[in-house]
Amino acid sequence: MASSSSSFTAAIAISIVLFLLSFTTPLFLCKPLRHSHHPRFASHNYRDALAKSIIYFEGQRSGKLPSNQRITWRKDSGLSDGKAMGVDLVGGYYDAGDNVKFGFPMAFTTTMLSWSVIEFGGLMKGELQNAKQAIGWATEYLLKATAHPDTIYVQVGDAGRDHSCWERPEDMDTPRSVFKIDKNTPGTEVAAETAAALAAASLVFRKCNPSYSKLLIKRAIRVFAFADKYRGSYSNGLRKVVCPYYCSVSGYEDELLWGAAWLHRATKNPSYLNYIQRNGQTLGAAETDNTFGWDNKHVGARILLSKAFLVQKLQSLHDYKSHADNYICSLVPGTPASQAQYTPGGLLFKMDDSNMQYVTSTSFLLVTYAKYLTSARMVVKCGGVVITPKRLRNLAKKQVDYLLGDNPQKMSYMVGYGARYPQRIHHRGSSLPSVSTHPAKIQCRAGFSVMSSQSPNPNVLVGAVVGGPDQHDRFPDERSDYEQSEPATYIIS
C-alpha cells in the first residue's frame, strides 16, 4: 500500500482528461480518437486515457464482483468482511497494492471522483455511466460503514499482517480485523471526509436516481454532525492501526471545512453557510500550505468555496477567492509568490514518496479553478502578473502530458496507456498469476519471490497511475520500490 504521504487521486486524473478533451479535441467526443499530427489536435488520446483510468477502479474492487467486470483476472474477495463484528462490510476498494480497506483514503477517492463527474461529467459521454458505477461501488460500502449512528467502520484488515504477505486478494488469509470510530474513540477527519464523499456523490445521482441521492445526503448530514460533535483525531485513538499508513498529519480542521463546503453545495441549507462563515478562519481557511490530497483538504476547500463567490455570487465568501488566488500564485512559475518545484523535465515535484498524487491533485484544481474563473470572467493577479484561465489549463495540460509520456523517460506513468509504461508495478494482484491461470492457493510468503523478481507483471492493471519519477525524472520500474512503483486509487482521483 501507499504510505501516509503517497496517494493518487484517481478521480483527479479523470477530470483533467475530461477537461482537456473539452478544449483540445471537441470534434472527437462522439467518435473514436485517432492520433493526428495536425497542429489543432492533441498529441495524446485523452479519451482512451479517460476510459482506462475508470477501468482501473474495477481492478481495485473488493467483494462479490459483478457479471460485467471488465478486469477479468480479478475474482471475488473479502466476502466475509465485517462478519466477525456482526456487520456487513463486504465491498469497497483496496486502496493501493495491498489488500486492506482504509476508509479515509477511500472516502477521499469517492469525493474526488464525484467532484470530477459534477464538474466535467457532461464531457464523458460513453464513460459517464462507468464513472458513476465506480462512485456507486464506493458509496454502497460507505453506507454500510455508516449504518449505525455515531459509529463509522474505518478499516478492514490488519495492515501489519497484510504487509507481511505478498498474496492475491482472492487468497487472503490474514486477519480481516475491523476498526471503528465512535463517541469514545472519535475520528473527526475520516468522519468529515466520509460526509463530504456522501454529499458529493448525492449530486452525482440527483437526476438519475433521486431516491438514492436523498439517502446519500441524509446520511451525509448525520455523519457530519457526528464528526463535528465528537471531535478528535482518529490517529490518536487508532494510532497503532492507522499509523504509519494513513496517519492524519494535517489535523481534522481541514476536513470539517471541506465537509461543510460539500454539504452546503449539496443541500443549499444556509446553516452550512453560517457554519463556514463562523468557523472558517479557525478551521484554517487562510492556511498557506499548497498541498492537496487525502490528508490535507485546505486548498480543495478554498477552490470549492470560491465557486460560491465566483459563480453563485455569494459575497460573504469573497475571501475564498483571495485564498484560492494565493494558492495559484504559489504554483505558477514566474510569479512573485511562486514556490513550486519542478523537475528538469517539467513535472511538479513535492515529495519523494508517490509524487504523482501531488501532480494529479494539483492539476485537477488548476482546471477546475480555470472553469470557475472563466464562468465569472475573472483572472488571478499575482503581484503585477496576470494569470488567465488559459494559462492554468496549459499548466495542467503540461502535467498530464508528462504523465502520459511527454517526459525524459518517454514513458507513460498510466499502466496500459501508450507504447511504454511500467511493467513491474508494486501491486500484489497484478504481479502474481491470476486465479484463472493458477487456481491453487498462493501462500502468504510464497509471493515474495515474485515481488523481488525482475519479471513483468502477468496481469495488466489497466489505468493504474504509479508514484512516478524522482526529482531528476528517473524511474527504475522496480516492483520493490513502492514509493515510485505503487499505484493507488487516490492518485487517479
Which residues does the annotation mark as catalytic?
A: 426
Q: Which amino acid is at 185?
A: T
- Under DSSP, is residue 349 helix (H, G, I), strand (E, B) or coil? strand
Q: If we measure between CA atoms, which residue out of 313, 127, 104 comes closest to residue 192?
A: 104
Q: Alpha carbon of 119 to those of 11, 137, 327: distances in Å?
A: 11, 20, 20
The x, y and z cell numbers of residue 240, run together, are 497503532
Question: CA-to-CA distance for 326 and 302, rounded, in angstroms?
Answer: 10
What sign does the CA torsion over 99, 9, 205, 272 have? positive
- Measured CA to CA, the distance from residue 470 to residue 159 in angstroms comes to 26
Q: Which three cell numbers stand for residue 97?
A: 497494492
Task: Tell me the CA distances in angstroms from 22 to 55, 362, 364, 366, 389, one per residue in order.
Answer: 21, 19, 14, 15, 14
Return d(Cα 306, Cα 173) in angstroms, integer: 47
Cα 343 to Cα 406: distance, rounded to the nearest angstrom: 13
Between CA 94 and CA 388 the distance in angstroms is: 39
Cβ-defined contacts of 372-375 (< 8 Å, 24+): 372/303, 372/306, 372/307, 372/310, 372/311, 373/310, 375/310, 375/311
Output DSSP code: residue 385. E
Question: What is the amino acid identity at position 483?
Answer: E
Strands 385-387 and 341-342: unpaired
- The CA distance from 182 to 248, in Å, is 17
Pairing of strands 151-156, 380-382: unpaired
Give how far the C-alpha of residue 281 lies from the chain's centroid of Cα atoms, to the nearest Å. Answer: 26
How do beta strands 178-182 and 341-342 pair?
unpaired
Task: State how far the Cα of 202 lies from the Cα of 204, in Å rounded to an integer.
Answer: 5
Contact 8, 427 (CB under 8 A): no
Which set of grid coordinates corresponds to residue 388?
488567465
Burial of 279 (0-12, 13-18, 19+ CB in 10 A): middle
